[in-house]
Amino acid sequence: MLELLRQPWPWYTSGAVIAFVMVLLLFFGKSFGFSSNLRTICSACGAGKHVKFFDFNWKSQIWNLLFLVGAIIGGFISAEFLSNGEAVQVSQATVQDLQQLGISKPEGIQPAEIFSLEALFTVRGFLVLLLGGFMIGFGSRYAGGCTSGHAISGLSNLQWPSLVAVVGFFIGGLITTFILLPLIF
Amino acid sequence: MKSLKFILAGILFGIVMSKSEAISWFRIQEMFRFQSFHMYGIIGTAVVLGTLATFLIKKYKIRDYQGNPIVFTPKEKSVPRYLIGGTIFGLGWALTGACPGPMFVNLGFQYWAILVAIIGGLLGTYLYGVLRDRLPH
């Protein structure tokens, strides 16, 4: 059993569990949306004193921060107990495309060229993560949600604004993939 | 117990996101290069089952565990904010290979470099709050 759990899980288990988590949160009287935690953390750090957008009762969102803490613990459990340490089996075409950019084939879950501490302590490596994160934070709040809020919760509720947001996610993602990454790497 | 259920739901989310490799930069690249069905399968399954569940909840007026009606708030009808905001989000998503949830799962996975992306995410959120009234919505 544990051996089975240690292998990578197929996409349909993941999709089903994500839908289950969404329904579970609805049953708890909440709604599934991860990026609002970033706003909550800003408020909890006192940003509401200077900026109206953060002046709300952030304590009502503590449940979502607890969900965030759970997500960190879940990642820890996977890494420590449910991992067989094998590399991600991405398609050969992706491996080849990325090698042309100078990103070596997967040895774990993340590329050393971006996630190793050596890469982090270079200007390029630091800026890729900082600016990438910055655009995720800015964009998700501007669009009123991220992958969980729009692509999962919003689309499940047949909200066309969420479809527009998801189209935007892909426009941005394709620009980075085919224009920015070849310039950066 | 009141708080524990949210932590447990988060743990389940964190485990499944890492075990299905949705937290991997490589998988996100594979998705944006249209070279595998994997990520589309994850999102597609979640949306199909989520749509079915949402439909059933509305149809049978299912209530939450406290007996309150489950309400779905419609999104504001606007195009610029979703298109511009979404595009900016996508630029960052493909760069770091992580959206807000997986960022924190990666932290648990002990990819410490992701802390920089999380700090970036907080700074970006803060700047949005500052500029909000001046942006087209």
Mean pLDDT taken over chain B: 96
Does B61 contact A at CB distance below 8 Å?
Answer: no
Comparing alpha-carbon positions, the chain A residue that sits nearest to B12 is A74
In chain A, % of residues over pLDDT 90: 94
Task: Please list every residue in chain B whose beta carbon sits closer than 8 Å to the beta carbon of residue A66.
Answer: 3, 6-7, 10
Mean pLDDT, residues A166-180 taken together: 98
Helices A160-175, B80-96: crossing angle, 10 deg rounding: 40
Q: Give a yes or no: residue B9 inside a domain.
A: yes
Which tops the pLDDT comparison, A26 or A3?
Answer: A26
Mean pLDDT, residues B87-116 taken together: 97
Comparing alpha-carbon positions, the chain B residue that sits nearest to A64 is B6
Q: Which amino acid is at A133?
A: G
pLDDT of residue A84: 86
Residue B23 domain boundaries? 1-35+74-134
Distance CA A53, CA A115 (A): 32
pLDDT of residue A1: 77
Task: Please list every residue in chain B whose beta carbon sits closer than 8 Å to the beta carbon of residue A120.
Answer: 113, 116
In 3-state terms, what secondary structure has residue B63? strand
Q: Give a yes or no: residue B115 inside a domain.
A: yes
User: Which residue from A120, A37, A44 is spatially nearest to A72, judged by alpha carbons?
Assistant: A37
Mean pLDDT, residues B68-85 taken together: 94
Does B67 contact A at CB distance below 8 Å?
Answer: no
CA distances from A165 to A136, A146, B84, B86, B101 (A): 13, 8, 8, 5, 17
Q: Residue for token digits 């803490």?
A: A69
Q: Give a yes or no: residue B53 inside a domain.
A: no
Distance CA B99, CA A147 (A): 7
Does B77 contact A at CB distance below 8 Å?
Answer: yes
Question: Is there a contact between A125 and B116 (Cβ–Cβ < 8 Å)?
Answer: no
Q: Give a yes or no: residue B124 inside a domain.
A: yes
Is the whole-model pTM more than 0.80? yes
Distance of CA A128 to the CA centre of its chain: 15
Q: Give a yes or no: residue B40 inside a domain.
A: no
In chain B, % of residues over pLDDT 70: 100
Interface confidence (ipTM) of the complex: 0.96
pLDDT at residue B1 greater than cutoff 80: no
Distance CA B84, CA B135 (A): 10
Q: Give a yes or no: residue B68 inside a domain.
A: no
Residue B87's pLDDT band, with cuts at 50, 70 and 90, is very high
Number of domains in chain B: 1
Query: Phi/psi of residue B132, each to 5°?
Result: -45, -50
Mean pLDDT, residues A4-25 taken together: 94
CA distances from B94 to A31, A158, B74 (A): 25, 25, 28
List % helix, strand, coil for chain A (3-state, nearest 5). Answer: 70, 0, 30
Task: Please list every residue in chain A whose beta carbon sits closer than 8 Å to the beta carbon of residue B17.
Answer: 14, 71, 74-75
Q: Give a yes or no: residue B82 inside a domain.
A: yes
In tens, the pLDDT along A56-80 reads 999 999 999 999 999 999 999 999 9
**In Å, how far is A60's CA from the nearest CA of chain B?**
12
In 3-state terms, what secondary structure has residue B129? helix
Comparing alpha-carbon positions, the chain B residue that sits nearest to A92 is B35
Mean pLDDT, residues A47-62 taken together: 97
The residues pairing with B69 across neighbouring beta strands, listed in sequence order, are B63
Q: Give a yes or no: residue B56 inside a domain.
A: no
Does B1 contact A at CB distance below 8 Å?
Answer: no
Task: Please list every residue in chain B whose beta carbon sits closer than 8 Å to the beta carbon of residue A3.
Answer: none
